[in-house]
Structure 1
Amino acid sequence: MQGEPALPADFQTLPYANPDAPQGGTVRYCVFGNFDNLNPVIVRGALTTARGIWFDKEFGNLVFEPLMQRSPDEPFTMYGLIAKTIETDEKRSFVEFQLDPAAKFSDGTPITPEDMLFTVRMLREYGRPLYANWLRPAVKIEKVGDHGIRFTFDETADRETPLLIAGLPVLPEHAFDEKTFEQTTLKPVIGSGPYVIADVRPGQEITYEKNPDYWAKDLPIRKGMFNYDKIVIDYYRDTNAQFEAFKKGNCHVYPEGDPNHWRTAYDFPAVRDGRVVKESFESGAPANMLGFVFNTRREIFADRKVRKALSMLFDFEWANKNLYYGAYKRTGSFFQSSELSALGRPASDKEKALLKPFAGDVDPDVMDGSYAPVVTDGSGSDRKVLRAALKAFQEAGYELKGRRLVGPGGKPLSFEILVQSPEQAKMAEAYKSTLSRLGIAVGTRLIDDSQYQARKDSFDFDMIIGAYSASLSPGAEQVYRWGSKSNDINGSFNYAGASDPAIDALINKIVTARSREDFVAAVRAYDRVLISGYYVVPLFHLPEQRLARWSFIQHPEKTALYGYQLPAFWRADAGKN
């Protein structure tokens, strides 16, 4: 997208991989939840698809692979995988991939342009909305020679479009039945990746075994990666049982996101004698945006003034001290802790020019860089903050009548927070406690994964706790999260129901930026509009990644820009289970 790749054309291995890593052995992962589907690209079962098959940022793409592999060490760079070469023009009006003649699926069937044509058809007709959005600019897709496939784009394409196409999975036409493609399945799928699905215990466990004939095992992009012979992912419905499995050695790696747990739960024999290691990793990526998401399709949240007032009432200081031992930092930006964030930065001249047509969309304090989320005294009932929030509600036409906050139509303000785990319920209860002090009635509802997915996909909620992954390379995926086009598409990530011309215009500026300077200005302006929209009550983030592992699981010395990469880990005692 911008500049040159970090690695030369003749690179031999990735900087964060160990090409001499021992090969073999079994790794066991443990995850919270359930699964009832093995097709990762369809809308159904989006939240209950088995982990690791495809598009898994933690475990990697074990079964399906893209045409080109994104590097977690660079924001905007991809390297060839199934595609041996890529060609495009200055205008990015087309992209042509020549497939590696050696590329094949795990059953030995060669990968052909026909497989890519089939993939495009399935993704457009039955895939998640994200894929249809990526493919929308492609007006012509054709086979070129024996191994080539060419995508021709219309005027809606941008500079990122070829990269999005390069990131699509390649599905085997011979292994799928088009008539049943959109249905969930527990039949092991076939892909071109380093592993095959060896065993499935629905809802409990999925086992992957390395394909000894994996076609790409000697490519530089794969050396030192995917080092285990077998990967087992166990599912747990209870986080306590999940951690007990780790303590007993039935799970070998435990990514830790709970600072309270990190502080108090690791005083057991295996930690004391060194068999279990606790580690922290630095990441150069922006912190993810975790927060209470307003469904602005609901009348109660349609008014930005109401959302702003509600955003003032999460007492981070109390929650951080009493629930999390002070381990978290408050999140205020959608690109927190990076050069893309608008926090603490006055708008540049370039940003002001971009925002000029939308002057009313950005609050003055967000524009001049003085904005920060409300800071309380940590008491859980900061009267100064409560008075300020009440004043904000009054500006929106609300008033306190007795012990209830009542809207312009005389209706008391009340809503429900939908949650899917006990940890989310804990956050919701902390928020609920403060809201109740202003006479706002809030209910919390904990439901199972399947129900939660169905209600989230159809936007059947008042408020949820959402997590928006952040990166140094935001692009077309933002349409799917915040763009007007995704506002009414079931299954999209536009949970908030955002539909704002300013957002749409700035996403377009991001994806068409030609220089780094223009790109940064566009993202910061975009950040200012999202912050000022109060679509989310920002929660918090950890300043580092935390991981516990059994000592026989080891990793390279170098950490990628985006943090540790589990596919680069290995067993020191390879050959043992």
Structure 2
Amino acid sequence: MRIFKIPNKCAIWRGFSRVAAVVFTVAAMPLATLAEPAHGIAMYGEPALPEGFESLPYANPQAPKGGTIRLAESGVFDSLKPWVLKGNPVWPILFQPGLVTESLMYRSLDEPFTLYGLLAETVETDAERRWVEFTLRPEARFSDGSPVTVEDVIWSYETLGTQGHPRYHGAWSKVERIEQTAKRSVRLTFNTLDRELVMLMGMRPILQKAQWEGKDFTQSGLEVPIGTGPYVIDRVDTGRSISFRRNPEYWGKDLAVSRGLHNFDVIRFDYFGDSNAMFEAFKAGEIDVWRELSPLKWETEFNFPRATSGAVVQSEIPNQRPSGIVGLVMNTRNPLFSDWRVRQAMIEAFNFQFINNTLNGGADPRITSYFSNSELGMQPGPAEGRERELLEPFASDLPPGTLEGYALPEGSDRALDRAGLRRALDLLEQAGWTVQDGRLADADGRPFAFEIMLNQSGSAMRTASETQQIVDIFDQALKRLGIAARITRLDAAQFIERTNNFQFDMTWYERGLSLSPGNEQLLYWGADGVDQPGSRNWMGMNSPAAEAMIEAMLNTDDDQDFAAAVRALDRVLTAGRYVIPVSFSANSRLAHSSRLHYPDRKTLYGDWPGFMPETWWQEAEK
């Protein structure tokens, strides 16, 4: 039996003296607690699909194989290692599930949080989920033909957890030990109660130990990774394009979780400097799919020849997932934004109604909270029941509106929202800022000035021109308050470097959220991320209340208690006033080549990683 002891695993969350880490050992577990190995596992209840299912319900097992799909990304890349902090990597390697590397389990897009066996044929855990054991499929192979071993699994988990990107560190810190229990079985034992850990451990990418051992794993690089997935990296033009070729010898092509997926022979990603160039390439037929973010453009700009001829079609993909948060985030590490009244003043000055009408024709609704558009979102009015019970111990430290109810200002349909600006000035005055000789300054005459940093390549949810338009309108309102904002546009590499190190005052921020929030919430909002480079806690929030809500989410086996904890967290985040939110759409707008098709059966998550190109296929030319 091979055992790796994880050193120095102590209290996990700062500010929780009342919660001790509970350490469990294999010796302390009675045999009666052992469960039966299963084909899948769910966060709550049982997986919807029985053992021996034929295929995922949203896949088309009759989909033809073949053809090429050409996709687009903005910016550039200089690394093929998305598992480390350094470099500007090819993100599709990480975010397209099972493209090049695979995990032990596969996540279904049709269930909030259910995993089915992929590299692992079975998963086993106890009732309290203090440990999890995976048994590898004997046929699992890397693309070079070598078998996937328990040694590869242990090395991958240990390396990612200690040398990989910080997103892996939090969950790894809760692992007491990892050990080989049989030729094809590996067990992880946890040092704290956290029911989600058995799920997270099933979703780590499995890398080949032989390829990376003895090298500095923390460094970025262009070495082609050897994975187990259905595709291998075929061609790389650094910074410009990358192609993935379907592996005809893919070991898992006959698995139930693979049937009907991975249908294209080649998946190609071309990189563009900005969204305008990308859209022109789509119009010219050089790329096959365009994700339109503007409802106004969706209605007015798809009259080019390939669209009018029928070579391009427009599809809308609905979803039932949370809106997430999109907008301008304020960095509270800067004392300027440490006061909630200042942050609320920025929200008051941001005339959403006018901006939305100008850019979107008013078609899309505003994001009202981080988990809006789902049953996990906070409701209007005061907190009640279990939500209030969870929040009450922190009442004295919570910003106004957390318990009482918080709503964003409505704004005005005119460019000048006088009422909003008056409220903003009143809040700023309360915070010690007054207009002096036409400029906003503190009692010592220091001006209220800050930088708004933008990525000139745009983002996943907004083009660069759209974010620039939004900020330009906002800047005009700030000038009326006597505030001088400096707008800086950076290339993608500079933007990533500065945001990784929190070197900004205000910047464009996007965080997608799922129907199964868990440990990743600590990476997004946890206190450890305030000083940890590469964390997603861009706003620098340090909230014991938020961490307590996350703890409550992780340690309940009741789905109603779970929902109450998420809604309570949503209140803490929204009333914290860290982000000036913009609009969202419950439908993804995809324009694509008429040769491309996707299943009629929509998924709970809609257009989400794992949907396109995984479930899509190409019809043969007639």
Q: Please point out which of 437, 459, 477 is paired with 1:402.
A: 437
8 Å CA contact 2:77–2:239 kept in 1: the answer is yes
Q: 1:116 aligns with which of 147, 153, 156?
A: 153
Aligned partner of 2:311 among 256, 260, 275? 275
SS at match of 1:332: coil
- Aligned with 1:312: secondary structure? helix
Q: What is the CA distance between 1:5 and its match in structure 2?
A: 1.4
Aligned partner of 2:320 in structure 1 is 284
Quote the residue 2:83 is aligned against.
41
Equivalent in the alignment of 1:25: 67
Shift of 1:408: 4.1
> What do the CA deviations read for 1:213-251 (whole angstroms, capped 9, x no partner)?
111111111100110011111111122221121112211
The aligned counterpart of 1:180 is: 216
Amino acid at match of 2:77: F
Task: Give the secondary structure class of the aligned counterpart of 1:568.
Answer: coil
How far is 1:327 from its partner? Answer: 2.5
257-266 vs 357-366, which deviates more? 357-366
Tell me the distance in 1 between the aligned counterparts of 2:276 and 2:543.
42
Question: Deviation per CA, 1:492-531, whole angstroms, max 9, x where unpaired?
Answer: 1011111111111111011112111101110111111111
Say yes or no: does 1:455 pair with 2:498.
yes
Q: Distance in 2 between matches of 1:504 and 1:65?
A: 31
Q: Which runs of 5+ in 2 are unaligned?
A: 1-42, 457-463
Match of 1:258 in 2: 294
Pairing 1:382–2:417 present: yes
- Alignment counterpart, residue 247 of structure 1, candidates 279, 283, 290: 283
Tell me the equivalent position of 1:393. Answer: 428
What secondary structure, in the 3-state scheme, does the structure 2 residue paired with 1:166 have? Answer: coil
| Structure-to-structure mapping, 1:132-147, within 5 angstroms | 132-147=169-184
SS at match of 2:198: helix
Residue deviations 1:401-436 (CA, integer Å, cap 9, x gap): 231112244322110011102333222222211111
C-alpha displacement of 1:269: 1.7
Q: Which residue of 1 aligns with 2:549?
A: 506
Residue among 47, 65, 70 paired with 1:5 = 47
> Quick check: 1:67–1:167 contact (8 Å CA) kept in 2?
yes
Q: Distance in 2 between matches of 1:83 and 1:183?
A: 29
Q: Which residue of 2 aligns with 1:336?
A: 372
Any idea what the Cα deviations from partners look like across 1:237-281, whole Å, max 9, x if unmatched? 122221121112211111111233323321112211211101111
Match of 2:187 among 150, 160, 163: 150
C-alpha distance in 1 between matches for 2:342 and 2:150 = 52
1:192-341 equivalent positions in 2, closer than 5 A: 192-341=228-377
Amino acid at match of 2:552: K
CA deviations 1:467-503 (Å, max 9, x no partner) are 0111111110000010112211101101111111111
Match of 1:69 in 2: 106
Deviation of 1:363 after TM superposition, in Å, equals 5.2
Task: State the Cα distance separating 1:325 from its structure 2 match.
Answer: 2.0
Aligned partner of 1:503: which letter? A
Please provide the CA RMSD for this pair. Answer: 1.5
One-letter identity of the residue aligned with 1:101: P
The 3-state SS of whatever aligns with 2:590 is strand
Residue 378 to residue 347, structure 1, CA distance change in 2 (3 Å): same
Distance in 2 between residues matched to 1:390 and 1:417, nearest whole Å: 20
Distance between the aligned counterparts of 2:487 and 2:448, measured in 1?
15
What residue is the counterpart of 1:356 in the other structure? Answer: 392
What CA distance in whole angstroms lies between the structure 2 residues aligned with 1:179 and 1:281?
43
Look up the match of 1:419. 454
Q: Does the alignment pair 1:372 with 2:415?
A: no
- One-letter code aligned to 2:130: S
**Counterpart selection for 2:133 from 65, 90, 96:** 96
The equivalent residue for 1:53 is: 93
Q: Aligned residue for 1:445?
A: 488
Q: Match for 1:64: what amino acid? A: T
TM-score (norm 2): 0.89
**Residue 569 of structure 1 pairs with residue 605 of structure 2:** no
Q: Does residue 557 in structure 1 map to residue 600 in structure 2?
A: yes
* Contact 1:348–1:521 (Cα < 8 Å) also in 2: no
Task: Report the CA distance between 1:399 and its aligned residue.
Answer: 1.5
How far, CA to CA, are the matches of 1:258 and 1:219 in structure 2?
39
The number of residue pairs the alignment matches comes to 568
What's the offset of the Cα at 1:362?
4.3
Structure 1 residues without counterparts, runs of 5 or longer: none
TM-score, with length taken from structure 1: 0.96
Over 3 Å counting, the alpha-carbon distance change for 1:406 and 1:343 in structure 2 is: farther
